[in-house]
Amino acid sequence: MGNISGAVTEPCLFVYGTLRPGFDGPMADWLKGVACHVGGATAQGWLYRVDGYPAFVPGGSGMVKGDLFLLPDAAAILAVLDEHEECADHFPSPHEYRRARLTVRGGDGPIEVWTYIYNRDVSALERIESGDFLA
């Protein structure tokens, strides 16, 4: 498996909510079983509360706390997560989330990763000021 320091040989995923290792849920447990947790990371942006899960919007002056996973079989893992996040092609548009590449700061500095970005208006949502959904 690739490592996070030096050249990363596998794609990584930044998770900030119900997929984080500290969240007690079936998809978080599944991700821990199929991917390698490599530690914490932060992304520039804001988190908002949508019912029992967060919405991530990159940019601005906020910092979002999350975790990085190495994806040994990225295509298969991301396909399952696209279904979970309801952003696979067969779901009706506009999707609530979209998967995109983003640069985050991991333990060894900046790294480009996959993440899920909220794709709807956040003006009526409560902002999670700490940037940490698990706090």
- CATH code at 101? 3.10.490.10
4 domain-assigned = no
More confident position, 119 or 6? 119
Q: Which among 2, 11, 28, 134 has a CA at the least distance from the CA of 81?
A: 28
130 domain-assigned = no
pLDDT at 3: 42
Q: Give the number of domains in the chain.
A: 1
100 domain-assigned = yes
34 domain-assigned = yes
101 domain-assigned = yes
92 domain-assigned = yes
pLDDT at 10: 74
2 domain-assigned = no
19 domain-assigned = yes
Q: pTM for the whole thing?
A: 0.92
HEC string of the chain equals CCCCCCCCCCCEEEECCCCCCCCCCHHHHHHHHHCEEEEEEEEEEEEEEECCEEEEEEEEEEEEEEEEEECCCHHHHHHHHHHHCCCCCCCCCCCCEEEEEEEEEECCEEEEEEEEEECCCCCCCEECCCCCCCC
Structure tokens at 53: 């899960």
Residues spanned by the domain of 80: 12-122
pLDDT at 9: 56
Q: Provide mean pLDDT across the span 90-108.
A: 95
